[in-house]
Amino acid sequence: MKKYALLRYCLVFLAIVLPYFTAAAFHGTEMVLAERKPDMEEYLPILVFSQISPDMKKETIKAQTVIARSNIQRRIGEGKNLAEILWENENAGEVWRYFFTEKNQIYQQSAKETGGQVLTYEGKVKLTPWHKISAGKTRSGAEAFHDEAYTYLKSADSSGDKKSPDYMKVVEIPAGQLSGELKIKKRDSAGYVTELMVGETLLEGESFASGMGLESANFSLQKKDDTYYLRVRGSGHGVGFSQFGGNEMAKNGSNAEEILKKYFPEMELKEKYSKSE
């Protein structure tokens, strides 16, 4: 039975992806993207696999599935077609692993059990962000993105994240690697660095974290001799759904709907969504 299931999964994958490569060789990617119209629910389990570990609780994976579906619907509403969205997926390695993991059925079950569900705000699908581990509290969208359009993304307590073995890491940066003294200038209400100085240069917190390879922009620093020691908390931008925090809720009996309500209190879970609404 497993062999037949694996064959079926592979055929689904080939039906989605292989036509792009073969047709693109003859007609170009633009024509292929315009003509090929794969079904979102068919591809969704593979996409969610690339976003969240199968070792997470099923209710956590279901929550991530709703988030992924919401983001796809949002981009379709912005004028993207599904083929373009699939084409832009950068997790090809994760996609291939999907077909060889024994736990891949949980993603199909999650897609089926949440069939059609999306998160909306004022009747419309919006950006629905997620990250792996918060610093104990998720961020306000308006603060993180410096845009009042994201006020619907409220900060939420996620103290369960502190139980993660990856909650905190210490990163060492030789002072000579920087062009001047490193100082934190400003943080947001969740403790994430939004502005810092390197010598006379003002930098944005997320950009600095990304450039230095830090797991998140929530960090404190201490200089000793010629080395800066950064205590980095969490993993990711800290906005929206924290996978580890959500999984702690699932371990304590919360279902996907309750998890999503915790992290997106201003948003509504819709059973079926039509962009004409």
Nearest to 36 by CA among 46, 47, 28: 28
Averaged pLDDT of the chain? 86
How far CA 131 is from CA of 12, 53, 262, in Å, comes to 28, 12, 15
What angle in degrees, to the nearest 10, is found between the helix axes of 256-263 and 58-77? 60
Quick: pLDDT tens for 33-76. Answer: 445 455 788 889 988 998 999 999 999 999 999 999 999 999 98
Nearest to 138 by CA among 162, 164, 158: 158
Sheet architecture: strand order including 182-187: 182-187, 193-198, 201-204
Position 187 scores a pLDDT of 97
pTM for the model stands at: 0.83
Give Cβ neighbours of residue 170 (< 8 Å, ≥ 6 apart).
229, 230, 231, 232
Position 99 scores a pLDDT of 72
The percent of residues in the chain predicted with pLDDT above 90, rounded, is 70
What is the rounded distance in angstroms from the CA atom of residue 40 to the CA atom of residue 234?
Answer: 31
